[in-house]
Structure formats: structure tokens, C-alpha cells
Amino acid sequence: MVALPVLRLQDVQLQIPVFTNETRSLKTALLRSVTGGQLRRSAGGAVVTALHHVSCTIREGERVALIGHNGAGKSTFLKLVAGIYMPTAGSIERRIRVFPMLHKSFITSPELSGSQAIKAHYLMLHADLQGFEAFQREVIDFSGLGDFIHLPVKTYSQGMAARLLFAMLTATSHDCLAIDEGFGAGDLSFVEQAQQRLESFIDSAGTLILASHSEALLQQFCQRGLVFDQGTIVFDGPLDRALAHYHQIR
């Protein structure tokens, strides 16, 4: 039986306005290195077309690799399917919630204690506190923060903050994960423990969209590859063929 589509993008385009008084000095090469898109100057500043003519369908249970150089459009695509960005043209159909695991920073105030940050994260996911106590205990145990959980996040070392954020984000299974390699266990001080948990977290997902430059990581978790170049998909197919195509255009 063919799996049902859970994400469908049709001729999607994303334009990002750049508001600056120095529009004339902006170089196309610089903006393209950041967004993968094309620069168009206008009276109000500049507009970068970060994604253009992007069409694809992702089915339930697929493990999809996003492949491309820095700025090719991979991270922008992840933010788009996760609902962080909205398309300026075309359409996106989502039949499941896409959970973004993209950043290494908290989206809540650093003035909050670690315990309060856990509660805010849980409420954003579930909209109520049913089951929160068990969730909080599991996060605190894995992060190893102990009584430091009651101190403001702004007082944490980089390693402590990373452990807490990683523990929160990987404590719940999700129907669909959108993961950027920028959020990796390799930057954490408890590498081996975090790597095992990350692998279990990914394995528990129904559908995976993973952006990475690590071919070993992509081969471990993915079977299909989307190759991005200058904000558009230039190849969509089996992972081995996608990687071969990427090496040809590099």
C-alpha cells in the first residue's frame, strides 16, 4: 500500500524583504551565500527570493535528506515546512504537525529558570500541563542539572544550556521531524549519551526531513534525497543518486 502524502508543496516561492539604508552596497554574492536566493532591489530596499518554484510531495514514514551547499535553501525549506515561514507564492498542504529542531537557543526569555523554561516548552507543545510532571522529571534527569534547574537560564554555562535544550527537544516523539545539522549532539559535552538519545529520537519519528553535510549521517537515517541549488530543488530521488548528483554540481 502506498503511504499517504503528509506534506505537499506546489510551486512554492519565498521572498524575504531586506530593510536597510545600504541597499546599493549589498552584493548579490553575499546575500546568495546567506539565503541561496536571488537579489532584487526595489524602492523600499531589497528582496531576496530564498526559494523559488519548489514542488515536492513527502509521504508518511519517508526519511528525506536535504542536500546542498551552505545557502542553497535547505534551512529555509525546513522553516517553511515547519510553519516558521509562510510562502509568498504557491501552496503548502500539511496533514501532520512538523516539529522543528533547528536552533541551539531557547525561544523563551533567559530570565526564566530552567524549570520555568521546561514548563513553557511543554505548554507550547501540548497547550496544557497534563503529564508535565513526568516530562519535567525525565528532562531534569537526562540533563543532569540537578538543583541548577531552579536558577535563571542566563546564569547557565553554554554546556548546561545545551544539555537542557537538548533534553527538552528530544523528550517527546513526533509525527514528523525537521532537523537541521546545526543542532547536533556533536557540540554537546555529553556526546555519547546525546548521540544515543538523538538516534532513538529520530528512529521514533514517523517522518523525517534532515538537512546535513554529513553523508554518513544522511545514509544512516535517510533513503531519499532532495538536492538544493540556489533556492530550488534540482534533483529528487534515491539518496545514493542524489548524493552523486550533488557531487557533480559542486
Per-residue pLDDT tens for 228-237?
999 999 999 9
- The whole-number average pLDDT for the span 15-42 is 58
Can you give the pLDDT at residue 186? 42
Of residues 36 and 63, more confidently modeled: 63
Q: Is 100 exposed, middle or buried (CB count within 10 Å of its CB: 0-12, 13-18, 19+)?
A: buried
Q: Is the pLDDT of residue 41 over 90?
A: no
The alpha carbon of residue 213 and the mean position of all alpha carbons in its chain are separated, in whole angstroms, by 14
Query: Percentage of the chain surpassing pLDDT 70?
Result: 83
For the chain, the structural domain boundaries read 5-97+210-249
Please name the residue that has the C-alpha cell 502524502: 5
Under 8 Å between Cβ of 80 and 87:
yes
Q: Is the pLDDT of residue 54 over 90?
A: yes
Of residues 153 and 29, more confidently modeled: 153
CATH 3.40.50.300 is the classification of domain 5-97+210-249 = yes
Please report which residue ranges of the chain form alpha helices under DSSP H: 28-35, 74-81, 114-126, 132-143, 158-169, 191-203, 215-221, 239-249
The band of 185, judged by pLDDT with boundaries at 50, 70 and 90, is very low
Sheet architecture: strand order including 63-67: 98-101, 176-180, 207-211, 63-67, 224-229, 232-238
- The whole-number average pLDDT for the span 87-97 is 95
The band of 188, judged by pLDDT with boundaries at 50, 70 and 90, is very low
DSSP type of residue 14:
E
The band of 183, judged by pLDDT with boundaries at 50, 70 and 90, is low
Query: Rg of the chain's alpha carbons, rounded to an integer?
Result: 19
